[in-house]
Amino acid sequence: MAEEGKYSKAADLPEELREHLGALILVLADNKRLLGMRYSDWILGAPALEAGIACSAMAQDEWGHGRIFYAMLRDFGQDPNQLEHGRESPEYRSSELLDGPADGWTDLLALNLLLDSALSVQFEAMAESRFEPVHYKVSKLLDEERFHFEHSRGWVARLGSTESGREAMQRAFAPAWEVCVRWFGPDDDEVARALCDGGLTDKDSTGLRARWLERVAPVVESVGLGLAEADGGVWRSRVEPAWDGWDSDVRRGREGGPDADTLVRVRGDKNRSLLLD
Q: pLDDT tens digits, the chain, 277 residues: what are they? A: 344 589 999 999 999 999 999 999 999 999 999 999 999 999 999 999 999 999 999 999 999 999 999 999 999 999 999 999 999 999 999 999 999 999 999 999 999 999 999 999 999 999 999 999 998 899 889 988 999 999 999 999 999 999 999 999 999 999 999 999 999 999 999 999 999 999 999 999 999 999 999 999 999 999 999 999 999 989 999 999 999 889 988 999 878 899 999 999 999 988 776 665 5
- State the pLDDT at residue 274: 66
Q: Is 223 helix (H, G, I), strand (E, B) or coil?
A: coil
Q: Is 31 exposed, middle or buried (0-12, 13-18, 19+ CB in 10 A)?
A: buried
Name the CATH superfamily for 10-274: Ferritin, core subunit, four-helix bundle (1.20.1260.10)
Q: Can you tell me the distance from the alpha carbon of 59 to that of 37, in angstroms, rounded to the nearest whole number?
A: 6
Q: What is the pTM of this model?
A: 0.95
Domain residue spans in the chain? 10-274
Query: What are the phi and psi torsion angles at 178 (to 5°)?
Result: -60, -45
- State the pLDDT at residue 267: 93
- State the pLDDT at residue 1: 36
Q: Can you tell me the distance from the alpha carbon of 70 to that of 161, in angstroms, rounded to the nearest whole number?
A: 40
